Amino acid sequence: MKVIPKDKDSKIDVTFICPESQDELIDSLYKIEKEVSEGLFKYKSIIFDSMSYWMNIVLLSTMEDETYDAGIFKCKRHLIDKVRTDEAAYGSLASHMNRICKVLKLISQRGIVIVGTAQGMEDPKYNRDLAVAPHFIGKKFGRDLKSHFDLIGLVQTRTNNSDGIIYPPSIDFRCADGSFMAKYTGKPIKSPRGILDFKKFIPKDKGRFVLIYSAEAGEGKSTSCLQSLTPPILDIYVEDRNPNTSLEALA
């Protein structure tokens, strides 16, 4: 498992690990679940940054490569065929993501806070009634989202009078008019909308499986998770940029 060192001047107690395949990710998650059950896991919180990138970029590109190698499409248009896949692959995408969610849910039920981040999308194909929802390819996994997570929240960037970004952003776990995907499960709170501070939404020493997403190019999602989660934090990092850039706003 690849590890990216944390910047020395960071105030956040976080470890970045970078799985390079679905098998490596699943094996690592079941190893974590075993360590948690045996009382050997040293982290209090886990962030998956990001789940939509893993599905839409990493998993999909792997399946495109496998489809090409299997010769499913034989049009001899190599550049086009290299990035094509079929319906069977899209069904597999949902199944692989369901496997990830299954073991993450097991870990959260043992008292670890799990937060997955996702990019937002407008008018998702899996639910045309929504104006904004988490961006996941295909219909099946998108329809399963609410069954997986305890909380689903829409993140919105806050700015000051000079249009500078303020951390943490706001989050909304309920949507009265049904225009965006949201879900809140747990002890009643005064308002489902507020500043993103997980200590306010999650009872102390309780595990939860949470999905947060933003329709604003991801501004502040991972940074805010790292800022308010209980340390030490394990960051399952799968995107291409350096994760330490998320910490710079907190310096």
pLDDT digits (tens, 9 = 90+) for 88-137: 566 688 888 999 999 999 999 999 999 999 988 888 888 878 888 999 98
Neighbours of 163 (CB within 10 A): 6
Whole-number Å distance between alpha carbons of 154 and 175: 9
Whole-number Å distance between alpha carbons of 195 and 226: 14
Residue 147, pLDDT score: 92
Q: How confident is the model at residue 34 (pLDDT cuts 50, 70, 90)?
A: very high
Domain ranges of the chain: 100-241
Q: How confident is the model at residue 51 (pLDDT cuts 50, 70, 90)?
A: very high
Residue 134, pLDDT score: 92
pLDDT at 56 over 90: no
Whole-number Å distance between alpha carbons of 85 and 164: 42
In order of 12, 110, 237, the CA distances from 241 in angstroms are 18, 31, 10
Residue 185, pLDDT score: 84
Residue 79, pLDDT score: 47
Q: What is the pTM of this model?
A: 0.86
**Helical H runs in the chain?**
22-37, 51-53, 60-69, 78-81, 87-109, 140-148, 198-201, 221-228, 245-248
Q: Report the chain's mean pLDDT, rounded to a whole number.
A: 83
* 152-175 tens-digit pLDDT: 999 988 878 887 777 788 899 988
Whole-number Å distance between alpha carbons of 227 and 81: 43
Q: Which residues pair with 170 in a beta bridge?
A: 156, 195
pLDDT at 86 over 60: no
